[in-house]
Amino acid sequence: MSTPDPSSAIGVFDSGIGGLTVVRALMDRLPFENITYFGDTARVPYGVKSVATIEHFTQQIVDFLLQRQVKLLIIACNTMAAVAADAVRASAPVPVLDVIEAGAANAAAITRSGGIGVIGTPTTINSNAYARAIHQLNQDCRVYSQACPLFVPLVEEGWLDHTVTRLTAQEYLKPVFVEHIDTLVLGCTHYPLLKPLLQDVAGSRIQLVDSAISIADRAAELLQRQGLANPSRERPQYRYHVTDVPVRFQTIGERFLGRSLGQVELVQW
Amino acid sequence: MSTPDPSSAIGVFDSGIGGLTVVRALMDRLPFENITYFGDTARVPYGVKSVATIEHFTQQIVDFLLQRQVKLLIIACNTMAAVAADAVRASAPVPVLDVIEAGAANAAAITRSGGIGVIGTPTTINSNAYARAIHQLNQDCRVYSQACPLFVPLVEEGWLDHTVTRLTAQEYLKPVFVEHIDTLVLGCTHYPLLKPLLQDVAGSRIQLVDSAISIADRAAELLQRQGLANPSRERPQYRYHVTDVPVRFQTIGERFLGRSLGQVELVQW
């Protein structure tokens, strides 16, 4: 396995455009790194599909990014991280980071009471991947998980501070709050956009863990440690590949990215 | 083009499992017809994808059903009907019905004031297909359309009579109701499950048009007229093909179908 080239891009992938919240955190944390993003917008969402289908789709995306010589793979999709991260790590010739290990590590580090809530898509939650990852770091943590299937469509509708979203959050989180958690992991790349509303519903005593920020910190540390940080101080290149350009793609994408989307290339499979 | 065999199945297809509401209406209306269903559950939802992608996916499904010798094709997906029905009709060697022409014809027939509301997914609404179909039948009708992207996830969550769903419906339908409509077309196969709630929100002076029932009526009429009704009085065969068996598939599918799902075959592309 040859050493990756430090000037190569970081490859970030997601089932759709939610992973742009991870790209945004990487741009902020690592302003000189080139980033190549892949969003499988023709087949999104993965969160309700079977494990076999998700594994198959993940491998296709990893192959696509490796052909483009990325130096680091970041699984920005919680669903793929939950069911396919081990397979990606086993076969990839470059380092692999995923949002679940990043979010779990952050949660285990900051909880004081040991009570941690995790919210995500049905597939992520059913996989129990966050609870496993947290327990590997600290067996004494108590993890309470809750699937929130309506949060993704609510974010995509732009109802980030809407009564409907607030009522939905209250209903989903009620059984988690009764467990006296002090930390709540946002286990889906769409959820950072709901942070103000969720913090409000959760109250000030519960700390929210944003996996996008957690993984950007880990990526910075890994690149430094492995000598893979880009030495260039030129303006980096950002490339976006998607399998479909759906209705409202630009609007939603830019909401996630927090800036305008540059060149977007359509990949047809 | 050879005449189809009356004992062959009716082919019904949808982007997911929402089309099972059409299968349910067909089972009730045509109890001796064999039905072969195809749901593209690995790539659902289509409602937010581009026209080119939807056309490509539709052709794959039509080829699959034609290989199984169906005598009639029913496009149970509003999104596919909106963007790909003409292409399917142009190439298929069997009759083709779609939910949009069925719902539009029903709405144009029952409206008294000429004010018709249409609700559906963003792609269906943006295609303007219902308005076009209604205007072809009656140029004097006024059509007011509204995309309701949250209704599909709300139905799949099972929140069929929930405060969140009611508030969402009130918000979506407000601009439609101010136009003094007397007819509201449910332009998505998921929406029949919201009929009681929507009727309540709409009030008793607005008639709801359920495209699933409309198309079952048209199918019955077409089979009779073209001599394609199945002469057998034996218990019919129902076959279900899906591209993925997602989490909660059985629960949601049976809610749509109104009875237990029989043999489901997984198709891997």
> For the sheet containing B142-147, what is the strand order?
B142-147, B115-120, B183-186, B207-210
End of a domain among A177, A194, A211?
A211
The pLDDT value recorded for residue A204 is: 96
Q: What is the residue-averaged pLDDT of chain B?
A: 94
Structural domain contains residue A139: yes
* Structural domain count of chain B: 2
- pLDDT tens track for A69-86: 999 999 999 889 988 999
Residue A91 shares a structural domain with residue A217: yes
Task: Please report whether residue A1 resides in a domain.
Answer: no
Ranges of H-type helices in chain A: 20-29, 51-67, 78-91, 99-110, 122-127, 129-137, 151-157, 163-177, 195-202, 211-225, 249-257
Whether residues A169 and A192 fall in one domain:
yes
Q: Is A140 exposed, middle or buried (0-12, 13-18, 19+ CB in 10 A)?
A: exposed
B4 occurs within a structural domain: no
Domain co-membership, B141 together with B195: yes
- How confident is the model over B169-203, as pLDDT tens digits? 999 999 999 999 999 999 999 999 999 999 999 99
Q: What is the ipTM of this complex?
A: 0.83
Q: What is the pLDDT of residues B141-159, one digit of tens each?
A: 999 999 999 999 999 899 9
Same domain assignment for residues B177 and B113: yes
Q: Is residue A50 part of a domain?
A: yes
Q: Is residue B165 part of a domain?
A: yes
Contact B161, B133 (CB under 8 A): no
A151 shares its domain with A220: no
| A interface test, pick of B17, B40, B48, B267 with most A CB neighbours within 10 Å | B48
Q: Is residue B3 part of a domain?
A: no
CATH number at residue A134: 3.40.50.1860
| Residue A79 is assigned to a ligand binding site | yes
How many residues are recorded in chain A?
Answer: 269
| Domain end point (choices B212, B232, B254) | B212
Candidate from A101-110, A121-130, A182-191, B113-122 with smallest mean pLDDT: A121-130
Q: Say whether both B230 and B205 belong to one domain.
A: no
Together in a domain, A113 and A205: yes
Q: Answer yes or no: is A220 within a domain.
A: yes
In Å, how far is B249's CA from the nearest CA of chain A? Answer: 9
Please indicate, yes or no, whether residues A175 and A123 belong to a single structural domain of this protein: yes
Q: Which residues of B touch A43 (CB under 8 A)?
A: 42-43
Instruction: Kindly state whether residue B2 falls inside one of the protein's structural domains.
Output: no
> For residue B43, which residues of chain A lie inside 8 Å, CB to CB?
42-43
CA–CA distance, B47 with B125 (Å, rounded to integer): 9
- The answer to whether the beta carbons of residues A34 and A95 sit under 8 Å apart is no
Percent of chain A scored above 70 by pLDDT? 99
Residue of B nearest to A124 (CA): B247
pLDDT 10s digits, B206-255: 999 999 999 999 999 999 999 999 999 999 999 999 999 876 778 889 99
Verify whether residue B188 is a known catalytic residue. yes
Tell me: do B109 and B201 sit in the same domain. Answer: yes
Q: Are residues B80 and B208 in the same domain?
A: no
Please check whether residues B243 and B207 belong to one and the same domain: no
- Cβ distance of B246 and A157 shorter than 8 Å: no
Residue A133: give the domain boundaries: 101-211
Same domain flag for B230 and B254: yes
